[in-house]
Amino acid sequence: MMRSLWTAASGMKAMQFSVDTIANNLANVSTTGFKKEKAEFEDLLYVSMQKAYSAENDQRPVNLQVGHGVVTRATSRDFSSGNLEQTNNKLDMAIEGNGFFAIRGVNGETFYSRDGSFKVAMTENGKMLTNSKGYPVLDRDGLEIYFDSDMENYEIQPTGEITLRDPDTGISLPTGQYIGLFQFQNPQGLEAIGGNLYRSNSATGEPLSDFETESPSTIRNYFLESSNVQVVEEMVKLITAQRAYELNSKAITTSDEMLQTANNIRR
């Protein structure tokens, strides 16, 4: 059986995965805080028919090898910042820098997000800051954030500090609470779980409190971070993947025709 059949088939599978990744990027072009992904590939095993060598009376300066195609090895996520879009909502927050908001899931596990479209949920303990699904937003110490007064009197400072403005004097007083921001030594290791959330693991390292890092992030109140997907760039990648898929398909067809010709030699 010709190697080219399996080699071209691996190319078609790789391009299918590439198109899947591009389609997901395009589908999330309007998702707040979404970070685009890119498929990464590796060539497969090579068969060495003759190896390069150097002898006294015989030399071969190059190898004679043939490869077995390609395989999808990883997806890398681009964590560059998206554009900031101004809103009229005090609870909307965008991060300038490498930080992530901390969100507590239903099972008590802490997740991380760049989506700052927060809400206020009424609980037994008072008004609690949550994301759109009602999961609590955490402060620097991993605690839930509550508001005791009218929301109009609260202000979010660029450092993440929550202050309470005295309606009589107009002076902003500290509440002792800070919106929790965290960074990772290897953000590429974050596992996307949907819902604009990421899960940390051993590959990311332990989350670092943002204000203790060398380059702390800032919070822009009344702003949201848009997706960093560039539609034109993704469309070009989509066309490239489609053409590569077609060429690999043509290679399979050509290999099949060659095999058919070989089978018809006896006739």
Length of the chain, in residues: 267
Q: Which two tokens stand for residue 79?
A: 């964590």
Both 160 and 190 in one domain: the answer is yes
Neighbours of 235 (CB within 10 A): 12
118 and 210 assigned to the same domain: yes
Could you tell me if 96 and 201 lie in one domain?
yes
Residues 75 and 118 both lie in one domain: no
Range of the domain at 110: 84-225
> Would you call 168 exposed, middle or buried from its count of C-beta atoms within 10 A (0-12, 13-18, 19+)?
exposed
- Sign of the dihedral defined by the CA atoms of residues 258, 259, 265, 267, in that order: negative
pLDDT digits (tens, 9 = 90+) for 79-128: 999 999 999 899 999 999 999 999 999 889 999 999 999 999 998 888 99
How many domains, in total, are found in the chain? 2
Instruction: For residue range 129-172, list pLDDT tens digits in order.
Output: 999 999 999 999 999 999 988 888 899 999 999 999 887 777 88
Kindly report, residue by residue over 11-34, the tens digit of the pLDDT. Answer: 999 999 999 999 999 999 999 999
Range with the lowest mean pLDDT among 58-67, 72-81, 243-252?
A: 58-67
Provide the pLDDT confidence category of residue 48 given band limits of 50, 70 and 90: confident
Could you give the CA distance from residue 61 to residue 208 in angstroms, rounded to a whole number?
52
Q: Are residues 163 and 99 in the same domain?
A: yes
> Can you give the pTM of this predicted structure?
0.88
State whether 73 and 89 are in the same domain. Answer: no
- Contact assessment for residue 35 and residue 197, using Cβ atoms and an 8 Å cutoff: no
Task: Work out the angle between the directed axes of helices 3-27 and 231-263 (0-180°, nearest 10).
Answer: 160
Q: Can you tell me the mean pLDDT for 187-210?
A: 94
pLDDT tens track for 219-229: 999 999 999 99
DSSP letter for each residue of 51-78: --EE-SS-EE-S-EEEE--EEEEEEEE-
Residues 6+ apart with CB under 8 A from 71: 10, 14, 41, 42, 44
132 and 215 belong to one structural domain:
yes
Burial of 214 per CB tally in 10 Å (0-12, 13-18, 19+): exposed
- CB count within 10 Å of CB 134 equals 11
Do 115 and 204 fall into the same domain? yes
Q: Does 8 lie in the same domain as 74?
A: yes
Cα–Cα dist 60/187, whole Å: 46
Distance CA 117, CA 75 (A): 27
Measured CA distances, 235 to 7, 13, 22, 46, 243 (Å):
26, 19, 8, 33, 12
Kindly write down the DSSP assignment for every residue of 92-160, as one continuous string. Answer: BEEEESS-EEEEE-TTS-EEEES--B-EEEEETTEEEEE-TTSPBBBBTTS-B-EE-S-GGGEEE-TTS
Q: How much is the mean pLDDT over the chain?
A: 91
Q: Which of 82-86, 184-188, 243-247, 258-262 has the lowest mean pLDDT?
A: 258-262
Do residues 176 and 237 share a domain? no
CA–CA dist 140, 210 (Å, integer): 9
Pair 69, 126 in one domain: no
Question: Are 185 and 207 members of one domain?
Answer: yes
Tell me how far apart the alpha carbons of residues 219 and 222 are, in angstroms, rounded to a whole number. 10
